[in-house]
Structure 1
Amino acid sequence: MRRLFPAPVTDQTAGPAPDGTDREWSLAELAAAYAYPEPDGRTGTGAWLRANMVSTLDGAAQHDGHSRPISGAADMRVFGTLRALADVVIAGAETVRQEGYRPARSRADFAELRQAAGQRPVPAIAVVSASLELDFSLPLYTSPLVPTLILTGAAAAPDRIAAAEKAGARVVIAGAGVGVDPARAVDALVRLGHTRLLTEGGPRLLGQFIASGVLDELCLTVSPTLTAGDAQRIAGGPSVEVPRRFVLESLLEEEGFLFSRYRRD
């Protein structure tokens, strides 16, 4: 992996190996390159919400309903690193279904780093769902290392809330009506002690975070693939009134994949 645009948080670069080939960045180097910034007082909570998405050269966020066909080994290393740095991973219910989400697993490579940061062994998974029409018999709800969170609105059906809690999930109300309000979701997670926030979409949820102005950072993998078709972009929903400006923080490359990190201006 090559560093094309410097990440100021680390002075280590993944230049060529002695034989002239590009070498892999270590997980420790990736963790340093993607470290969460220090709180800047923007909200007073210290929360930082980053998104991690992948897109093809022609703008598709998935192929045949899944992101894995447009991903690769280096992308999965970055994906795992971003999860390992987070307190909580937020995903929409449809993404959880399509991608077959399972509980986050403990990784020895990041155990010491998480302990030093005062984090639990793994991030919690937070599923955003208005209807709570979820399969609560899945391991994501019945056997995670830390309880799965379900973000929903105050109008959620009581019987579905009861079913979620019976399975072992923790239901968090983050909206006054049927759905979830993005700003309230962030606030609710902060009240639970989660300030390093990571969303993996899908596109509709990411679009809601963008429209609400609560997204702080976008980690975007550009996959060297073309798919055509009518697949979703990385963000959907209504357009924002004025395009939001983000600043390039770092850019890495491996095997044609570009790993960009943008933060809010």
Structure 2
Amino acid sequence: MKICQVNGIQQNEIDVENRGLAYGDGLFTTAKIIDGNIQYLTQHVDRLISGCQKLGINYPPIEQLTQQLTTVAKSYSLAVLKVIISATSGGRGYARSASNHYDLIIMVHDYPNHYEDLALSGITVGISKQKVGLNPMLAGLKHLNRLEQVLIRQELETRNEDDLLVININDEVIEAISANIFIIIDEAMYTPDLTQSGVNGIMRQAILKQYPTTIVRTISLNDIATAQAMFLCNSVMGVIPVANINGRSLSIDLPLAIRNEIHNNLE
């Protein structure tokens, strides 16, 4: 880790009764810093604020948060920014304190350079043996309760693939471990409906805006088996083509073209 700020002070300690630690009572977002700028800064800030509003957590003024993140990012040519907003200590029990104050944690990490190589070669993806639950109250939010993803990432350590697709208890494909998924079938592009579970990522939102004909619907394992192309995406790695799914080879040409178009639009 390059830097860590807690409520504007450079430190890496928080109150042991912080509600993010005790209950996962908070949200986070992860962004790419390039040439001192945060990609999709406005969208990341909006995600944090709207998530806090949905959870009922107080939050810093938008202008103040934006300026704070901008100032931190200026020092880095290529890095990963992680921002957490969590409810502060309310004592024992689920009830928040009357003040309902927040803790703002800003961290900067090294950028995983292997993402660029993976983008050119494509990755291998399997299907997780574990299934995530349905949670419409929290669906779409990047909240701090990520135990399902921790367990699935642990499963990946025992596998030979680069990533795993995650299905829910209704056998619907939702996402990868830490990325959204898009598939191409007969020249049409699809991405899973996330109204019951999953994270509505910033890169997913950007792709849907740039490719408005993308169809958002339930995705089954049969759809995965018939897809001609597929890619994963998140704000840090961008678009990563899938070269092999469950032992079946896929074309990476169209995902690479989409990656290039998304990248060019950022310049």
TM-score class, shorter = under 0.3
TM-score by length of 1: 0.22
Relative to its length, the structure with more strand (as a share) is 2
Q: TM-score with structure 2 length normalisation? A: 0.22
More contact order relative to length (CA 8 Å, sep ≥ 6): 1
